[in-house]
Chains A and B, each alone.
Chain A
Amino acid sequence: MHHELAFLHNYLIVGAMLFGIGAVGFLARRNMIVMFLSAELMLQGVSLSLVALGRFHNDFSGQVLVVFIIAVAACEAAVALALVLALFRRSGKLDIAVWHALREDNQPAFEEPDLPELPAETPGDWPRLTPAGVQPEISPEDTEYRRDV
């Protein structure tokens, strides 16, 4: 029994860490895809806890729930990514701060705070792969969308 409990703690600790990392990531990052990933991470943290507790209690409802979560997460991923894509198409940016149309009328729009200048990146000697093969043809559509990437 003691052994089992220690075993469960491991899983729960990992689950909590996953959830925490996801939450912090969701709050701290402005890239929409990363935020989406963070949300998935939270989901997985919860799922892990559920599975572990289901196993610990010898009860399958945790597992069953997780199966559902995975299914829903898949659907959600499709929808969320479609949304991200649509937003990206409209603004050309993945930055979530671009979208603040739902604020009250008299509230100031988000402005990028003046960040301290980053120290100029010293050109380092990054290894580079030698180009190989034929350079793929880039369609005008792609250039339009990827302009700012």
Chain B
Amino acid sequence: MFDPIKTLLILIPSLPLAATLLTALLGKRVLRGRSHLPAVLAVAVSCLASLVLLFQMHVEADRATGPGNGEAERAGYERVVTLWNWSTVEGAYRLGGRPGETPIAQPRDFRIDVALRADPLTAVMLATVTFVSLLVTVYSIGYMRSDPGYWRFFTYISLFVFSMTMLVSVNNFILLYVFWEAVGLCSYLLIGFWFQKPEAAAAGKKAFLVNRVGDFGLALGIFLIWTVFGSLDFHDVLGGPGGQTVHDTGHVPGAAITAICLLLFLGACGKSAQFPLHVWLPDAMEGPTPVSALIHAATMVTAGVYLVARCMPLFVASVDAQHVVAAVGGLTALMAALIAVTQTDLKRILAYSTISQLGYMFLALGTATAAGVTAGMFHLFTHAFFKALLFLGAGSVMHATAGVIDVRRLGGLRRRLPTTNWTFLFGCLALAGILPWAGFWSKDLVLLAVGRQTAPLFGVLYVVATLTAFLTAFYAFRAYFLTFYGTSKLPPEAEEKLHESPRVMTVPLVMLAACALVVGAFFELTHLFEDFLERTPSLASASAASGRVVPEATLSQTTVALTSTLVALAGLALAALLYLGSREQLVRRLSDVMDRLGLYRLSHNKFFFDEIYYGLVVAPLKGLARLCNLIDRVLIDGLVNLCGRLPVWDGAMLRPLQNGMTQFYALGMVLGIMVLIAVLLL
């Protein structure tokens, strides 16, 4: 029987995988300049399939959980497609069972199925990922043209799309971890794409190493899940139709849940560049700009958000973990926004903006309410469009100016790059959260979800988030005005070849700009996104489990919308005041004042995180390495060399005996015989 959902689920990741293999094998010799064909085709079909899947899921979910279905409505809708069994260890989990004792519960198997799942959360992620991937891949055709690693680039990109689609559609923690690492690998490969450049190689290494810290937490979290639940299947851990939830089993200790949540969140922090593991993302901008747009803004870095959203039933059970998530998110959002205000590299501004926006998403997830999760995921969804748009716009600027991206050296590009100009403006408006652009709607939902919490922590975080909204509008338009307005400034090397990007690059920009304009309003006003996402089983069970009535602060949507719009406009106005037109005197005086307070330097140097980490982590490790080296060289090598030297010394001592004199030898014989006789006689 033809099963559309199953077919689509398998089709979506397998096509990019096929493209990867094809490009990897044939790219260098056969495809060469046409290496983009398999990737673009595969991602396009995947994207189409994802959209069909999204639609299909919507229809099915409606039918399954429509009104009147009672229990089913509570449980949400999902489909699991088991492809094959990877490994099974029978009776691996015995509760309270040391060998020889009678186990408390029935022993359970350790079972890993290669299974894909389709539920609203996955469908939304798949659609976002493949859609942005498609546009970025098309854009790369123009951007990467004439790069010697053309085929390599598209191999990595399609490998990334494969890994990312698998990451969001697998059905157990082990496979999640596998693809979690796979996207990390792709990120490493693509950051270090121009590996001849020492900065790029170092940035790739840094990203990989910082991610290791988070991944270690994720691994520990998964171990703990196995220990506590005896299963790694999403069903058994997170609940769903026919599955057990945490809250049904009843014997799971709260401290264990908190520990699991914090460990999982550590993993999410690493991948999503949250404080204190955010340091790798700004450096990752050494990679090609489409990579920054796709991996380090729109998709891979949101894997952490996806993980937390997916594991929401666990987070619901632990208030402490919720507060940690929210606090870290809020802190990161504010800190990154403060750093972004003084950066001069366009891509770095955007990178810190990404960190800040991811902080927003975690802040929303930290509320652990249905509204919060929906808001976080909705912000993820809209952010993917407008941040990819901004990055691709920055890439278009780089393309035009021969790689110069320092906003101090650019100015007045709006006449020279008309399409880039207006699409970038759209991106900035969406990022700043100006009505009716997408960012406005999702940011509002986040603020609303946070503002309605009663805990005092969330009161602080609400203020922080509002302040961040102000800063966001300010730095977004600072970057925009510096680059596109003001006196026409260009680095001399770019003067003659300045040109608008080719069609293949501007079309994705225009499409993303259109999305950045409409997706927020469309989905928010029709409530499509919210209703659909709430049918995700894990979210449904989470909100059902949190059935306790949380007292909500009375905060009307209008108030939030007004406040956020006002602060965003204030930020925009401040940026316009300082950077529109030539008020360099004013800017300089302001930054002088800030500098005297020490604030400017603090922000410009990214709060000295790199230096602190160098002092706290890198330098001690280097010292340790040096000590190990010393021990190795002196102690270990010393022992080994001693073993060699001993026979040498023996030989040197015995060598005078071999003096070649016949009579000396004869004397030796006589003495030897005398000794023998003496021994025999005595």
Interface residues of A (CB under 8 A from B): 23, 26-27, 30, 96-97, 99-104, 106-110
Contacts and interface: CB of A to CB of B under 8 A. Distances in A.
B681 interface: no
Interface stretch (B239-247, B490-498, B508-516, B663-671): B663-671
A104 B659 CA distance: 6
A32 to B, nearest CB: 9
B550 interface: no
Given A23-B670, A27-B670, A107 B655 contact: yes
A49 to B, nearest CB: 15
A110 B663 contact: no
B526 interface: no
B659 A100 contact: yes
5 contacts: A103-B658, A103-B660, A104-B658, A106-B655, A108-B659
A107 B661 CA distance: 11
Interface on chain A toward B: helix, strand, loop, or mixed SS?
loop
Contact of B667 (A27, A99, A103): A27
B249 interface: no
Contacts of A101: 660
Interface in B652-682: 655-656, 658-663, 666-667, 670
A108 to B, nearest CB: 8
A97 B665 CA distance: 12
Given A99-B660, A101-B660, A110-B661, 19 more contacts: A23-B670, A26-B666, A27-B663, A27-B670, A30-B663, A96-B662, A96-B663, A100-B660, A100-B661, A102-B660, A103-B659, A103-B661, A104-B655, A104-B656, A104-B659, A107-B658, A109-B660, A110-B659, A110-B660
Nearest to B657: A104
B563 to A, nearest CB: 93
Nearest to B652: A106
Interface of B: 655-656, 658-663, 666-667, 670
Contacts of B663: 26-27, 30, 96
Contacts, number: 39
Sorted from nearest, which 4 A-B pairs have the closest CB atoms?
A103-B660, A100-B660, A104-B658, A102-B660
B252 to A, nearest CB: 78
A111 to B, nearest CB: 11
Contact of A107 (B659, B662, B667): B659
A23 B670 CA distance: 8
A101 B661 CA distance: 9
Given A106-B655, A107-B655, A107-B656, A97 B666 contact: no
B681 to A, nearest CB: 16
User: Looking at B655, B659, B667, which has the most chain A CB atoms within 10 Å of its CB?
Assistant: B659
Contacts of B659: 100, 103-104, 107-108, 110
Contacts of A102: 658, 660
A21 to B, nearest CB: 14
A110 B663 CA distance: 12
A101 B660 CA distance: 6
B256 to A, nearest CB: 73
A42 B670 CA distance: 13
Contacts of B658: 102-104, 107
B673 to A, nearest CB: 10
A149 B666 CA distance: 26
Contacts of A109: 660
A97 B655 CA distance: 19
A101 B658 CA distance: 10
Nearest to A23: B670
Contacts of B661: 97, 100, 103, 110
Contacts of B662: 96, 99
A64 B673 CA distance: 25
Nearest to A24: B670
A96 B660 CA distance: 11
A107 B652 CA distance: 11
A139 B324 CA distance: 117
A106 B660 CA distance: 11
A100 B656 CA distance: 13
Contacts of A103: 658-661
Nearest to A96: B662
A23 B669 CA distance: 11
A126 B658 CA distance: 45
A30 B660 CA distance: 14
A30 B662 CA distance: 9
Contacts of B666: 26-27
Contacts of A100: 659-661
A23 B667 CA distance: 9
A66 B65 CA distance: 120
A108 B659 CA distance: 7
Nearest to A26: B666
Contacts of B655: 104, 106-107
Nearest to B665: A102
Nearest to A99: B662
A112 B94 CA distance: 90
A107 B662 CA distance: 14
Give the most central of A96, A99, A101, A104: most B CB within 10 Å: A104
A107 B670 contact: no
Contacts of B656: 104, 107
Nearest to B662: A96
Contacts of A26: 663, 666
A104 B660 CA distance: 7
Contacts of B667: 27
A86 to B, nearest CB: 15
A83 to B, nearest CB: 12
Nearest to A108: B659
Contacts of B670: 23, 27
A26 B667 CA distance: 9
Nearest to A29: B663
A30 B661 CA distance: 11
A109 B658 CA distance: 11
Nearest to B651: A104
Nearest to A39: B666
A128 to B, nearest CB: 36
A96 B666 CA distance: 12
B665 to A, nearest CB: 9
Which of B656, B660, B666, B667 has the largest count of A CB atoms less than 10 A from its CB?
B660
